[in-house]
Structure 1
């Protein structure tokens, strides 16, 4: 139970971090590869300090890590977080799909019954 609560807390931090469009765009840019704060900042009309704040939120959510490569400090996207989000989304997508399939079955039965009634009336 505690493990599930921890996963849901992490999931909350991830979705909260991704609520901001700039942070979502940073994540999208990092799917192409690691980048420095300066490289990421060049895409936005904000200060490097603002980009650093966005990265801090993403880092606290576990979406990115900062490395050290000689003089460079590349930001790296942590892909396993996407597995956490995907599992959560998939669980609810599967439940919704099952509901739609049951609804399709009910509608098909209603359509069959309606067709039978129509055919009986025509006889």
Structure 2
């Protein structure tokens, strides 16, 4: 499984975000994921590898096809990081809002 930084980096690409959005609907083979995208099937496979290395997707072999699905563990790790980040922001705001004007808080 990748780190939250790898996940954020992987999701920074619009093609990879499009693939994730397609996989939200359910597992799919590369050929179906590639339909309608402005990149070749080999390029889609490369994007899927980046997502897999980041821990966001997994696949299983069904016959001669790789069927990809979202990897919940990768998204859970990303969510945990975002929740922790957001909690830190809220705590900093609470500290700031709790100060009076003489302490550098809101007036």
Structure 1: give runs of 5+ residues left out of the alignment.
1-6, 111-123
Structure with higher Rg: it is 1
* Deviation of 1:86 (Å): 1.0
- The answer for the alignment partner of 1:39 in structure 2 is 32
Structure 2: give runs of 5+ residues left out of the alignment.
102-107
Q: How does 1:43-54 map to 2 (within 5 A)?
A: 43-54=36-47
- The answer for the alignment partner of 1:103 in structure 2 is 96
Q: Which has the higher helix share?
A: 1
CA distance in 1, matches of 2:3, 2:97: 36
Q: Which has the higher strand share?
A: 2
The 8 Å contact of residues 23 and 69 in structure 2, kept in 1 or not, is answered as yes
Higher relative contact order (CA 8 A, sep 6+): 2
Query: What is the TM-score of this pair, normalised by structure 1?
Result: 0.73
Q: Deviations over 1:1-43 (max 9, x none)?
A: xxxxxx8x62222222111111011111101100111101112
